[in-house]
A and B are shown apart, each in its own frame.
Chain A
């Protein structure tokens, strides 16, 4: 891989962020425990709330109306690793394959290998500490719940929230099968057993530790004169990579 291709590949991975893969939902179960409606009228700020904010806080103002359970159920689509929020449904990788091919493969490839610049969904095992890490669901993602949540809310790209609960579980099962997370095409995943699915990279994430591991950046007094010996030597030039759009190339301005 040439130097410039290598950099380009990195950046594409960086910024794309957006388009991963396929699915969503239509069955929208209420996962919320029944809303507790009785709020004592004169209750002061929640005890959980430490002081802080910057605006006057005469609480409450009585603004906003109560959200109804069916309204919440319609919009509340998030899923957590512990299974909270899982929509009802079930499916197998075998059933998911056809759905994946029909709804997802145009961008993500039939085996999650991706087409063009679209995100790679499978592969990359063991590559994270290498020069060219391939971060996929199997190699990188910590939780299977993230797959079902994301597919449900945002996929297929351009047709979000269109998949039924059964389609969702089937497609996710197929994607997990592509990643060797499940190995039996007929293993049924459902809202009952989904939280038992574990991904292998979960333990490799840790909370931001910059204030400890990068403590040296909080320096007393940075050097002001004669900080480096010798004249500056150019080690790398963006111009040599030559991937910057030319001036004048940009969106049309009327």
Chain B
């Protein structure tokens, strides 16, 4: 299992840069961002480019379509030094390249503990047993005969922004905030399956278990299971991707994504939590006094400006400028997002555009006329429960710096007069 080269393949920096994309010469720490290249004069007026004269690919040549080859830099990325192996690791969603609220399936961040399990859907089984009247076994076809619902939810890793507890560390929005995706799931309410089995009166907890070789388990309060959890088999219309749990995962709306067990194979009904590895050793939040919170399920209100950001510098210098970002809360709908250009001295309320849904990402924009001076950009989310996204210092005051998970502190981007953007902490 321990590949000497750690299974990592790397393309040269050159092969992705220098394609006229001006893509983040900045994140690497380089100089000022360059304006988009002028392009190939042969393709520009008054000339008639090749694509206006010749036939392109016919239908079904691209039987399953991919993005334009000019978007080849829009990919999940990982941080080599972060983990011991690629199989128990994470890749990050390129938030700075996306807009709206739906994450394309191929870009949804990955977090595996034993690699991607490749299940044959014909051999898929979901077992429900324990404190039930009748233990049940479902096939994928069975699940698809039950009434299903469609819901758009974010799934955010509890460790998202975890690298930033002690200070600004990752100079890229993708790495500071990219352990999140937001898709439309199609699935059967878990409640329906539990009612099929008949839950006994002393039942209080469920154990969820995956079919991969980590056999990931989490204890889930029965109340949550009966409320809004989904046994999902589709994302954004199509089948789940293998890396996202094909053929079946559970959605636990608003709660840390570790609980969204992929390749779900078994649900046991019990009367107490199991205190398994992912809810004791991991996903418990160590405080400064040496005590630790457990069962910190909900992901609190959070936001980040995705553009501009270190990987997406401002190339136009001064003039009309758009700030764009995302906000979300595990406690309900986003009620408001405020944005500051001067590091929190003054705030303006951003424009939410597109659907604002319960426990889903919301998209916000602020348009302003940039005078070309240094900016300190921040966003501050509020949700419908009245929760206001705290600063990192406010969080540290309560929790210290060792709690690893649940960092929803306000992010600061410094924009230089040249339009370069960096991850900073400020006073």
Contact = CB atoms under 8 A, between A and B. Distances in A.
Interface in A88-145: 106-107, 116-118, 128-129, 133, 135, 137, 140-143, 145
Interface residues of A, number: 122
B288 interface: yes
Contacts of A213: 398
Interface in A41-98: 43, 45-50, 52-57, 59-67, 71-72, 75-82, 84
A18 B214 contact: yes
B92 to A, nearest CB: 10
A161 B211 CA distance: 12
Given A135-B286, A238-B171, A107 B84 contact: yes
Contacts of B195: 45-46, 49, 57, 59-60
B90 A15 contact: yes
B154 interface: no
Contacts of A80: 270, 272, 274-275
A94 B422 CA distance: 54
Contacts of A128: 286, 290, 292
A39 B199 CA distance: 11
Contact of B280 (A66, A146, A242, A253): A146
A213 B285 CA distance: 14
Main secondary structure of the interface of B (DSSP, over half): loop
A12 B80 CA distance: 10
Contacts of B78: 245, 250-251
A17 B258 CA distance: 10
Nearest to B16: A248
A204 B9 contact: no
A159 B202 CA distance: 36
Nearest to B297: A208
Nearest to B127: A67
Interface stretch (A149-157, A169-177, A188-196): A149-157
A133 B402 contact: yes
B137 A66 contact: yes
Main secondary structure of the interface of A (DSSP, over half): loop
B130 A207 contact: no
Contacts of B167: 3, 7, 235-236, 241
B136 A219 contact: no
A67 B83 contact: no
| Highest count of chain A CB atoms <10 Å: which of B91, B188, B192 | B192
Contacts of B191: 49, 52-53, 55, 57
A253 B77 CA distance: 11
B135 to A, nearest CB: 4
B145 A61 contact: yes
B79 to A, nearest CB: 6
Interface string A217-254: 11110111111100111111111011111111111110
B338 interface: yes
B27 interface: yes
A50 B226 contact: yes
B112 A18 contact: yes
A238 B423 contact: yes
B254 interface: no
B215 A153 contact: yes
Nearest to B149: A55
A179 interface: no
A164 interface: no
B323 interface: no
Given A12-B81, A19-B85, 6 more contacts: A76-B268, A78-B209, A222-B388, A232-B344, A248-B14, A250-B75
A197 interface: no
B277 interface: yes
B8 to A, nearest CB: 8
